[in-house]
Amino acid sequence: MLRITILWVLCTLVMLATVSAGLAAAPREYSDGVIAADTVWEGEVVITGPLVVKKGATLTLRPGTSVRFRRVDTDGDGIGDGEINVEGTLIARGTKTEPVTFSSAEAEPKPRDWKYIIFQYSRGSAVEYCELRHAFTGLQAHWSDVSVRNCLFTENFEGMRFSTAVIDVSHNIFKGNGFGIRYESRGSKGSISGNDITDNGCGFFAVVKCEGEVEISGNNIVNEDYNVKLGMRQTGDLVFSGNWWGSSDPDEIEYGIFDGRVDEQLGTVTYLPALDGPVEDAGIE
Amino acid sequence: MARRTSLVTSAAALCAASLLYACFAASVSVAADTAGRTGFEGRASHNGLVLSGVRIYAYDGFESMRANSPSAVSPPTGDDGGFVMEVPPGRYVLVAKMRSEGPDDGPLAPGDLYSFHGSNPVSAVEGSMAHVGFSLVEYVPPVYSDTGDPSAGGISGVVTYNGEPLQGAKVSIYIDPGTELKGVGYSFSPPTGPSGRFNFDFLPQSDYYVVAHKRLSGRSAGPISDGDYYGYYTGNPLRVEAGKSVNIEIRTVSKAGEIGKDDSLFRDTGTGVTGRITGPDGEPVQGVYAFAYTDKLMMHRRPEFISRQTGPDGRYVLNVSGGGTYYIGARSDYGDSPSIGEWYGKYDVTPDHSVEIKTGEKLGGVDIVVERVLLQ
């Protein structure tokens, strides 16, 4: 009798342990989700469709959090519908050894599997030690103030996009994207410095109204097609002094810039004084 | 109990009768405004905002227009940009002007505002007030330069929309205004490229009417439809002299696109939302517009519908064209991307800022909180 009791207790304990382990492993799921109160994520999160962080709410992601987006394209635009729309605040802070990751949930992930993390009229957000992959745009910031530091943007159509924003974009890696950073400054302030913006199709795409107060210096900007490309309506001159272009030769530097030197309707990029070697401590600190 | 019931019934009947009378009186009053009248009514705007002080000039033909000799002139448009002008039945060339030199008709000066109605000439039908809208643009004088070729002249320039080059526009030039500026004309350009530029060389010395179109259908001819772009050069007719090239800017407007899909946007359609716009401190905000998009993205283009600017109480009425889902917000400017310091906010009760409106419904209590964009 005692033996049977002991066996029964042991079996129960094993079952409980198994169930607990199973519960702990189940990811948190959102489908057309809304976060209207302060919320903390850790572990695995799977998102289907848009998720909005309402104004007044803060979503915090702990180090090691993995956020994956299912590819669902209900509007048929060729871009997955998954997104995090931050109207409140997002604090996504990983560490160098335990980054927060945003990626596709598909078995064969590819760019545009999900849309973006988009900040609209958001205040005080920070995205640090994160990895963003397989998006249309890894991160977009509009009419918001956002700090983006020590992140990896790779395998996206665009790494980052911003307009009318207060930004600190420093010590990130933008690598293997269609565009590294696309922007319309429209009064933006802040800086883009200490970044490795390399091996993208185009490093910077300055669409229109890009004159302004965002300082872009101290970066390594070495890309496949263009390092800086001006949109057809960007008629004002832009300043990209103090960056490394993969070469000190003015001809080679200018070869990688599409501006008024190529199409006289466009503004001219000032790249001098240029750095005479790569920024050694650019990228993730 | 019987006496109380009788009184209640009588009071209800009296209220119902009063309401019916009020509705009838109102409808009669509205009908009396336009019943039996012949002419035109509508609204004038500039850069998407209604404009007061504009006068509409009706000419019996292009020659009268050229001679600044109108058959009728409207009173100046009111605060809502609206006007009413009675004319005898007939066809008229309608032009809206705001001249620095005053209300008398005459040539334009730099900075004056002008609009040539894209459907000119327009018919005034007996017993009917035709609705016409005008989106005025600034007059930009032509600039002449020598070509070195004394045998011919040229026209060159740029087609723009909202200050930006307009790609895909076709520019036509007419010598004979009897064509009513329709059809192929004397010559036409290929569609403009990203620079919006066009050019006509080897033109004989003459006066030309220069017009630009961009039809979203891609067709080269036909009436201008909603969303198409139209530009009548404000300095028409344009003089081309032998040995000289003249450079101009043709500023286009979007038909029914400058202020939502219906340029009588403040007209009570019976369907819409009402509410109050406040700041983060709960106090009403004056001088802001409520707006409605039909696209949940609420970006990259102007909203389809806007309200009048709020008064001191922050209240607004936003009319839409019919029932459906609308995405609601408010801001202090109408046009380009919101700028730093501007008031901006979205209806926050629903996650996607939407409301569902039934046709014939005025949904109340759609209150919006606005904040200053990016100001600390």
Identify which of B165, B352, B374 has the shortest CB distance to residue A143: B374
Q: Which residue in chain B is spatially nearest to A166 when comparing CA positions? A: B374
Cβ-defined contact of B348 to A232 (cutoff 8 Å): no
Chain A closest CA to B338's CA: distance in Å? 8
Cβ-defined contact of A233 to B371 (cutoff 8 Å): no
Distance CA B257, CA B265 (A): 11
Mean per-residue pLDDT of chain A: 92
Q: In sequence order, which residues have a C-beta less than 8 Å from that of residue B343 and are 6 or more positions away?
A: B279, B285, B288, B330, B331, B332, B370, B371, B372, B373
User: What local confidence, expressed as pLDDT, does residue A8 receive?
Assistant: 76
User: What local confidence, expressed as pLDDT, does residue B28 receive?
Assistant: 28
- Put simply, whether the predicted model's pTM sits higher than 0.80 gets the answer no
- Answer whether B66's CB lies under 8 Å from B209's CB: no
CB of A8 within 8 Å of a chain B CB? The answer is no
Q: Which residue in chain A is spatially nearest to B369 when comparing CA positions? A: A55
Residue B17: CB atoms within 10 A of its CB come to: 10
Q: Which residue has the tokens 């910031």?
A: A141
- Answer whether B176's CB lies under 8 Å from B209's CB: no
Task: Select from A177, A197, A205 the least CA-distant residue to A279.
Answer: A197
Task: Select from B15, A51, B164 the least CA-distant residue to B7.
Answer: B15
Task: Select from B166, B139, B165, B143 the least CA-distant residue to B154.
Answer: B143
Task: Select from B221, B43, B219, B206 the least CA-distant residue to B132.
Answer: B43
Identify which of A34, A52, A187 has the shortest CB distance to residue B339: A187
Residue B2: CB atoms within 10 A of its CB come to: 6
Residue B192: CB atoms within 10 A of its CB come to: 23
CB of B338 within 8 Å of a chain A CB? The answer is yes
Predicted confidence band of residue B233 (pLDDT cuts 50, 70, 90): very high
User: What local confidence, expressed as pLDDT, does residue B221 receive?
Assistant: 59
User: What local confidence, expressed as pLDDT, does residue B129 receive?
Assistant: 76
Q: Which residue has the tokens 């009296």?
A: B14
Four-residue CA torsion sign, B278, B280, B283, B287: negative
User: What local confidence, expressed as pLDDT, does residue B30 receive?
Assistant: 25
CB of A267 within 8 Å of a chain B CB? The answer is no
Q: Which residue in chain B is spatially nearest to A51 when comparing CA positions? A: B351
CA dihedral B266, B267, B271, B277 (to 10 degrees): 20
Four-residue CA torsion sign, B260, B264, B268, B269: negative
Q: Is the pLDDT of residue B225 over 60?
A: no
- Answer whether B212's CB lies under 8 Å from B230's CB: yes
Instruction: Give per-residue pLDDT as tens, A174-202.
Output: 999 999 999 999 889 999 999 999 999 99
Residues paired with residue A48 on neighbouring β-strands, in sequence order: A31
- Selected residues 192-221 of chain B with any CB under 8 Å from a CB in chain A: 194-195
CA A131 to chain centre: 7
Distance CA B376, CA B362 (A): 36
Chain B closest CA to A275's CA: distance in Å? 33
CB contacts, 8 Å: B351 with chain A: 34, 36, 52, 54
Q: Is the pLDDT of residue A21 over 60?
A: no
Cβ-defined contact of A187 to B340 (cutoff 8 Å): yes
Distance CA B315, CA B295 (A): 24
Average pLDDT over residues B157-164: 90
CB contacts, 8 Å: A163 with chain B: 337
User: What local confidence, expressed as pLDDT, does residue B12 receive?
Assistant: 41
Distance CA A60, CA A41 (A): 6
CB contacts, 8 Å: B346 with chain A: 87, 121
Predicted confidence band of residue B227 (pLDDT cuts 50, 70, 90): low
Q: Pick the residue with more confidence: B257 or B330?
A: B330
DSSP assignment of B121-188, as one string? SEEEPTT-EEEEEEEEEE----EEEE-S-TT-EEEEEEEEETTEE-TT-EEEEES-GGGTT-SS-SEE
CB contacts, 8 Å: B373 with chain A: 121, 143, 164
- ipTM for this model: 0.75
Residue type, A117: I
CB contacts, 8 Å: B352 with chain A: 52
Predicted confidence band of residue A77 (pLDDT cuts 50, 70, 90): confident
Tokens (6 digits) for B371: 């904040």
Count of residues in chain A:
285
- The listed range with the strongest mean pLDDT (A97-106, B32-41, B167-176, B227-236) is A97-106
Cβ-defined contact of A265 to B195 (cutoff 8 Å): yes
Instruction: Give percent of chain B with pLDDT exceeding 90.
Output: 41
- Answer whether A154's CB lies under 8 Å from A177's CB: yes
Residue type, A98: E
Count of residues in chain B:
376
Cβ-defined contact of A163 to B337 (cutoff 8 Å): yes
User: What local confidence, expressed as pLDDT, does residue B226 receive?
Assistant: 54
Burial per residue of B330-362, b for 16 or more beta-carbon CB atoms within 10 angstroms, e otherwise: bbbbbeebbbbebbbbbbbeebebbbebeeeeb
Q: Pick the residue with more confidence: B132 or A22?
A: B132
Instruction: Give per-residue pLDDT as tens, A132-153.
Output: 999 999 999 999 999 999 999 9
Four-residue CA torsion sign, A6, A7, A13, A17: positive
Cα–Cα distance list, B186 to A85, B115, B117 (Å)? 53, 23, 21
CB of A64 within 8 Å of a chain B CB? The answer is no
Which range is least confidently modeled, A25-34, A36-45, A255-264, B191-200? A25-34
CB contacts, 8 Å: A87 with chain B: 346
Cβ-defined contact of A164 to B374 (cutoff 8 Å): yes
Q: Indicate the pairing of strand B315-319 with strand B272-278.
A: antiparallel
Chain A closest CA to B222's CA: distance in Å? 30
Residue A268: CB atoms within 10 A of its CB come to: 15
Q: Indicate the pairing of strand A238-239 with strand A257-258.
A: unpaired
Number of Cβ pairs closer than 8 Å across A and B?
42
**DSSP character at residue A275:** P
CB of A144 within 8 Å of a chain B CB? The answer is yes
Distance CA A222, CA A220 (A): 6
Task: Select from A161, A128, A132 the least CA-distant residue to A66.
Answer: A132
Chain B closest CA to A235's CA: distance in Å? 10
Q: Pick the residue with more confidence: B125 or A238?
A: A238
DSSP assignment of B261-315, as one string? S-S-TTS--S-EEEEEEE-TTS-B--S-EEEEESSTT--SS--SEE-PPP-TT-E
Four-residue CA torsion sign, A134, A135, A140, A146: negative
- Answer whether B300's CB lies under 8 Å from B262's CB: no
Cβ-defined contact of B374 to A144 (cutoff 8 Å): yes
CA A21 to chain centre: 32
User: What local confidence, expressed as pLDDT, does residue A245 receive?
Assistant: 98
Average pLDDT over residues B205-209: 92
3-class DSSP state of B357: strand
User: What local confidence, expressed as pLDDT, does residue B366 receive?
Assistant: 97
Chain B closest CA to A142's CA: distance in Å? 10
Distance CA B251, CA B230 (A): 8
Q: Pick the residue with more confidence: B306 or A90?
A: A90
CB of A233 within 8 Å of a chain B CB? The answer is yes
Q: Is the pLDDT of residue B163 over 70?
A: yes
Distance CA B276, CA B261 (A): 24
Cβ-defined contact of B339 to A145 (cutoff 8 Å): no
Task: Select from A117, A105, A101 the least CA-distant residue to A70.
Answer: A105
Instruction: Give per-residue pLDDT as tens, B262-292.
Output: 444 566 778 899 999 999 999 999 989 999 9
Q: Is the pLDDT of residue B308 over 60?
A: yes
User: What local confidence, expressed as pLDDT, does residue B17 receive?
Assistant: 38
User: What local confidence, expressed as pLDDT, does residue B29 receive?
Assistant: 27
Q: Is the pLDDT of residue A163 over 70?
A: yes
Q: Which of B167, B299, B337, B354 to mutate to test the interface with A (most CBs of A within 10 A)?
A: B337
CA dihedral A148, A151, A157, A161 (to 10 degrees): 10
Mean per-residue pLDDT of chain B: 81
Chain A closest CA to B48's CA: distance in Å? 20
User: What local confidence, expressed as pLDDT, does residue A208 receive?
Assistant: 87
Four-residue CA torsion sign, B183, B184, B190, B192: negative
Q: In sequence order, which residues have a C-beta less than 8 Å from that of residue A191 and are 6 or more positions away?
A: A167, A168, A169, A170, A214, A215, A216, A217
User: What local confidence, expressed as pLDDT, does residue B260 receive?
Assistant: 41
